[in-house]
Amino acid sequence: MAEGERFVDNGDGTVTDTKYNKMWTKEDSYQMRGKWITWKAAHKFVDWLNEQKFAGYDDWRVPKNQECRNLYDHECKNTDFDGDIVHIDYVFPEGCGTTYWCAEEQGINGMAYNFYSDRGYQVRKKSSDEGNMSCRPIRSSGPEVKKQGRLSATGRTRRE
């Protein structure tokens, strides 16, 4: 690992975010299963990963909105399933989805985070929608990291 490298490929299908002590699946649900999923299916997908003890862990979950925000990186211009730009680190393989389900829901809507735009943003989608929707499961890889200052929509503090 290069000194100061934020994302580390663990070589087991996971990537560790050293800045926030989180571990992500290297591939999202679309890349792993080859299909789009609803909000409920995202939770079932995570349950399936836990049953399989994916990468040796059984505490995978759907990420919270803020965790997805922290994954967004405006400087990175990775490519999605359609060859369009998505703003996530290059350690994640090309061909991913553009919008990831988040754990939060509001009534009939599930919350999601869009990595397609130049500014990354939260969206409210009907929980039953599946078009271009995927999930990138997460788990903790160490003590929770508290960031000081107010966070912007990109997950950065004003000082970053």
Could you tell me if 82 and 66 are in contact, meaning their C-beta atoms sit under 8 angstroms apart?
Answer: no
Report phi then psi at 78, rounded to 5: -75, 175
126 vs 56: CA distance, rounded Å = 33
CB 106: neighbour CB atoms within 10 A? 9
35 vs 39: CA distance, rounded Å = 13
pLDDT digits (tens, 9 = 90+) for 85-137: 999 999 999 999 888 999 988 778 888 888 876 777 777 777 777 777 899 99
pLDDT digits (tens, 9 = 90+) for 13-47: 999 999 999 999 999 999 999 999 999 999 999 99
Q: What is the pTM of this model?
A: 0.84
58 vs 84: CA distance, rounded Å = 33
Nearest to 99 by CA among 120, 128, 118: 120
